[in-house]
Chain A
Amino acid sequence: DAGVIQSPRHEVTEMGQEVTLRCKPISGHNSLFWYRQTMMRGLELLIYFNNNVPIDDSGMPEDRFSAKMPNASFSTLKIQPSEPRDSAVYFCASNHDGKGTEAFFGQGTRLTVV
């Protein structure tokens, strides 16, 4: 398996623009997580999906952030409008809730909002 695939790897955008980050989880996994990593706050869980349904979105910072999982093989995290403080590395991770607890991470998307 190719692992969790995220795109793009790097994104530079201007403040106020819409940004969409994409994730393809490992085939067969039924849980998907979006994390944000910054030097100041470390790894923060933004949202967790199980069987394509959002289970916990308490970590989504504000209404500018939204996430969808239209099917088992694709998820998006959208920021609209983006702000410089959104600059971070965003990770997607997946696992199967009935087959162990390890979360497999993608390589991340480094977002820079100028």
Chain B
Amino acid sequence: QQQVKQSPQSLIVQKGGISIINCAYENTAFDYFPWYQQFPGKGPALLIAIRPDVSEKKEGRFTISFNKSAKQFSLHIMDSQPGDSATYFCAASKGQNFVFGPGTRLSVLP
């Protein structure tokens, strides 16, 4: 029930393309769904987050789509840039109980 599944494991996108990463959770008690971005040698940093009372949240080129009934959420990166190349983690939390997905390594080719 605590598991968060994430796919794909790795993703290669051309510059200007759309990157899509999907996550699924099981525990319906989760009420906060953040995405973290991690560059090599750095700690994860919050990118964008959503709560289940909305179905979509957009911040610049980054959009979270949330499907509460399916218990799924996804990250869309529009106009992907080489600087977006990093590992992306979805997470689900209730209070201070954070559960992270296994991560997606994104490579954006110039």
Contacts and interface: CB of A to CB of B under 8 A. Distances in A.
B100 A4 contact: no
Interface stretch (B16-24, B37-45, B70-78): B37-45
A18 interface: no
* Chain B, interface residues (CB within 8 Å), range: 20 to 34
B7 interface: no
Contact of A42 (B41, B46, B49, B103): B103
B32 A43 contact: no
A44 B35 CA distance: 16
B95 interface: yes
Nearest to A103: B98
A105 B45 contact: yes
Contact of A107 (B43, B95, B98): B43
Contacts of B100: 42-43
B15 to A, nearest CB: 27
Contacts of B45: 105
A102 B50 CA distance: 11
A91 B45 CA distance: 12
Contacts of B101: 42
* Chain A, interface residues (CB within 8 Å), range: 20 to 34
A50 to B, nearest CB: 7
B102 A42 contact: yes
Given A4-B43, A105-B43, A31 B96 contact: yes
Interface string A54-94: 01100000000000000000000000000000000001010
B63 to A, nearest CB: 19
Given A42-B100, A97-B95, A107-B42, 16 more contacts: A4-B43, A31-B96, A33-B98, A42-B89, A43-B89, A43-B103, A45-B98, A48-B96, A93-B43, A101-B49, A101-B95, A102-B34, A105-B36, A105-B43, A105-B44, A106-B43
7 contacts: A43-B103, A45-B98, A95-B96, A97-B96, A102-B34, A102-B49, A105-B43
Interface of B: 32, 34, 36, 41-46, 49, 89, 93, 95-98, 100-103
